[in-house]
Structure 1
Amino acid sequence: MTESPDQYCEKELRRVDPDRWLTALFAPDSKRPGLLAVYAFNSEIARAREAVSQPMIGQIRLQWWREAWDGIWAGRPRNHPVVLALHAHCRDLDRHGILTLIDARETDMADTPPADMAALAQYAEASSAPLMQLAAQQLGAALPPDLARNAGIAYALTGLLRATPHLSAQQRVMLPAGVLAAHGLMPEDLYQREVGADLAAAMAEIADQAERHLLAARRQRVPRQALPAMLPATLAGLHLRALAQHRFDVAAAEAAVRPLRRQMALLWASLRGSF
């Protein structure tokens, strides 16, 4: 039996972005297919760079998604399971937020790391905060801009720290060149080395910024209806603690945050109505 677009989105999201897949399970049954479609779309554009051999091809993939959304809004969806799911559930989502997410991924096509922390925060906000707003909208709610901004930056920075070894293996670095330089490192030093005290210190500086944004987000009240959209921030806090406890040894930190631990953290956040 051929799987439906909704089934495809859930299967793919569970495979490539298990954290967001897990948070989507806390959405109401009627809203979950649309939320999974939004997250599946995000995973498609987030993987545009690593799925291709040349940055220019990645840019073509991003343009494909811009045109795909034009077709969704015009009622002429392309024959792609994620596009069909988006057409079925997400045609009324904010266009500016969608296009901001796609545009943010242009940064992934560059071979140079962000210059400084400000540039990294700008990328983190553009690639994550609109997604939280879109997820909340899909749930029939809205988030205060500062809440989405701070939570989005915290989640994205945490994700970049977790992805550091994976990106380094591809000879890509997303840690700011200025932060690395302050700790005696060049970006290319990350290609062939294990985590040492200098790299751990640079990562700790970024983790501190993520923690500050997460605390700022948690000072604000989240509408109950929008809580599933904010649950990724719960997992960001969990991963930040594990990274610090394991001195930014990413493999050890990932192993420590077992699936059951994630599930229990999300369940507790859902029960108390706060991320």
Structure 2
Amino acid sequence: MWSWHRQVKDSVSQKTIGLMRMQFWKTAIEEIYRDEPPNQPVSIELWRAAKKHQMTKRWLLRIITEREKDLDDRAYRNLQELETYAENTYSSLLYLLLECLGVKDVHADHAASHIGKAHGIVTCLRATPYHSSRRKVYLPVDICILHSASQEDIIRGSREQNIRDVVYDIASQAHVHLQHVVLEDYLQRVRKADFDIFHPSLQKRNPLLPIQLYLRSWKKTY
């Protein structure tokens, strides 16, 4: 369902068609949680997963609702709007994955929120060359205005400093979210060192941090 929702925006030529498809899934979710799933493979599998793992309906509906709003096919007005989109889609998906793994912990949810926001922001950046090739720009308007970067500059693939500054500001916000998770890793290491700030273990980087961040997002270790 997640992959399908991501493709709807690019695969439909009219917003009305996209809205009809989203409404189908809204109705399907309601029926799934009444134990009356539509006779459709994805719906049936989702019903089984929701029943087995007690998945929260709110997260599923939030993903659909946010994707539905995204069909307006316009640039994000500001960085906060992009973060809201990322929280309601990518973070919500991570909350569901945590539930499927049986993890119910506020610290894990906190990490999932930041990771989801960072993921959404990075995805927006990574997709920019593809979108610009179709003469579309979704980068936050306020950041573009701040650096005098026009949509036409981005569409023609400008590599001037002002475009780099736009990307820097947006990427920096994704980094801030990841730093929240990294800081928690450091604090955990400080605790293990009995708060000895000069302990040798704290004077070197953790080479396993990327793997640990992935694993800890699913475990009650925060």
TM-score normalized by structure 1? 0.63
Contact persistence 1:56–1:109 (CA under 8 A): no
Shift of 1:202: 0.6
Shift of 1:272: 9.2
Report the Cα distance in structure 2 between the residues aligned to 1:200 and 1:60, rounded to whole angstroms: 38
Report the Cα distance in structure 2 between the residues aligned to 1:272 and 1:58, rounded to whole angstroms: 33
Which residue in 1 is equivalent to 2:190?
A: none
Name the CA shift for 1:143/1:108 in 2 (closer, same or farther; >3 Å): farther
SS in 2 for 1:121: helix
Q: Deviations over 1:55-82 (max 9, x none)?
A: 2221211111111112222222223332
Contact persistence 2:129–2:157 (CA under 8 A): no
Name the CA shift for 1:50/1:139 in 2 (closer, same or farther; >3 Å): same
Q: Deviations over 1:222-254 (max 9, x none)?
A: xxxxxxxxxxxxxxxxxxxxxxxxxxxxxxxxx
Contact persistence 1:114–1:175 (CA under 8 A): yes
Q: Deviations over 1:108-138 (max 9, x none)?
A: 2123211111222121211211111100001
Which residue in 2 is equivalent to 1:232?
A: none
* One-letter amino acid of the counterpart of residue 114, structure 2: N
Contact persistence 1:115–1:177 (CA under 8 A): yes
Name the CA shift for 1:76/1:273 in 2 (closer, same or farther; >3 Å): closer
Contact persistence 2:181–2:213 (CA under 8 A): no
Which residue in 2 is equivalent to 1:156?
A: 120
Shift of 1:99: 0.9
Name the CA shift for 1:65/1:112 in 2 (closer, same or farther; >3 Å): same
Report the Cα distance in structure 2 between the residues aligned to 1:175 and 1:136, rounded to whole angstroms: 30
Matches within 5 A, 1:132-171: 132-144=94-106, 145-171=109-135
Contact persistence 1:183–1:199 (CA under 8 A): yes
Which residue in 1 is equivalent to 2:85?
A: 123
Shift of 1:271: 10
Higher CA-based Rg: 2
Shift of 1:190: 2.2
When the two chains are superposed, the root-mean-square deviation of aligned CA atoms in Å is 2.5
Report the Cα distance in structure 2 between the residues aligned to 1:106 and 1:129, rounded to whole angstroms: 17
Shift of 1:273: 4.6
Name the CA shift for 1:110/1:266 in 2 (closer, same or farther; >3 Å): farther
Name the CA shift for 1:146/1:185 in 2 (closer, same or farther; >3 Å): same
The structure 2 residue matched to 1:67, chosen from 27, 32, 35, is 27
Matches within 5 A, 1:1-275: 41-91=1-51, 92-144=54-106, 145-220=109-184, 269=211, 273-274=215-216
Q: Deviations over 1:200-232 (max 9, x none)?
A: 2211111100000011123347xxxxxxxxxxx
Name the CA shift for 1:136/1:167 in 2 (closer, same or farther; >3 Å): same
Contact persistence 1:136–1:143 (CA under 8 A): no
Compare 187-196 and 161-170 and name the one that shifted more: 187-196
Structure 2: any 5+ residue segments left out of the alignment? 186-206, 218-222
Report the Cα distance in structure 1 between the residues aligned to 2:114 and 2:145, rounded to whole angstroms: 26
Report the Cα distance in structure 2 between the residues aligned to 1:112 and 1:89, rounded to whole angstroms: 34
Report the Cα distance in structure 2 between the residues aligned to 1:271 and 1:121, rounded to whole angstroms: 20
Name the CA shift for 1:208/1:267 in 2 (closer, same or farther; >3 Å): closer
